[in-house]
Amino acid sequence: MSDCLFCKIVAGKIPSTKVYEDEDILAFNDINPARPVHVLVIPKKHITSLATATAEDTLVLGKILAKANEIAVAQGSPDGFRVIINTGRVGQQEVPHLHAHIVGGPDPVGPMLKRI
Ligand code: 5GP
Ligand code: ZN
């Protein structure tokens, strides 16, 4: 996907602060952090969202979650964190390349959602 922002980050055409990388996934700091630790973890392969992921993506999706604690601890969230995957219009996903937000830090991140 040549016009995808996060594909351009994977390709190195747009700079990012990488915190973890392997053959399948890339993790980098969010440009506008909501908490002291705010990392985006993405598949290197373009997957638009959880709404378009298929069974073929099972391994890479598992890898994103399996690496989350290691990334969080290394970035300064040693005692837990929150994973958020905004999906589609209702999930208010802004960047249409699947990404898991890992948010944390030394202190609790706050309530999950404001209730209606
Ligand atoms: P979404 O709302 O799609 O779940 O989250 C998109 C996230 O991408 C936002 O938290 C936003 O700050 C982050 N973001 C948008 N553009 C860039 C960029 O060019 N570089 C980095 N590192 N993060 C970005
Ligand atoms: Zn992409």
Which tokens sit at 59? 């391994």
**Residue 46 a catalytic site member:** no
Residue 4 has what pLDDT? 98
| 65/67 Cα distance (integer angstroms) | 5
Choosing from 38, 46, 97, 99, the catalytic residue is 99
Which tokens sit at 35? 């908490």
DSSP 98: -
What is the per-residue pLDDT across 64-84, written as a single tens digit (0 to 9) for each? 999 999 999 999 999 999 999
Topology (CATH level 3) of domain 5-104: HIT family, subunit A (3.30.428)
Q: What is the mean pLDDT of residues 5-25?
A: 98
Nearest ligand (C-alpha, residue 95): 1
Q: What residues does each domain of the chain span?
A: 5-104
Task: Say if residue 50's pLDDT is above 90.
Answer: yes
- H helices of the chain, in order, are 5-10, 58-75
Average pLDDT, the chain: 97
- Asked whether the CA dihedral 115, 100, 62, 75 is positive or negative, the reply is negative
Task: Say if residue 1's pLDDT is above 70.
Answer: no
Nearest CA residue ID for atom 17, ligand 1: 31
Q: Tell me which amino acid residue 58 is.
A: T
Q: What is the mean pLDDT of residues 51-63?
A: 98
The model's pTM: 0.97
Q: What is the mean pLDDT of residues 3-27?
A: 98
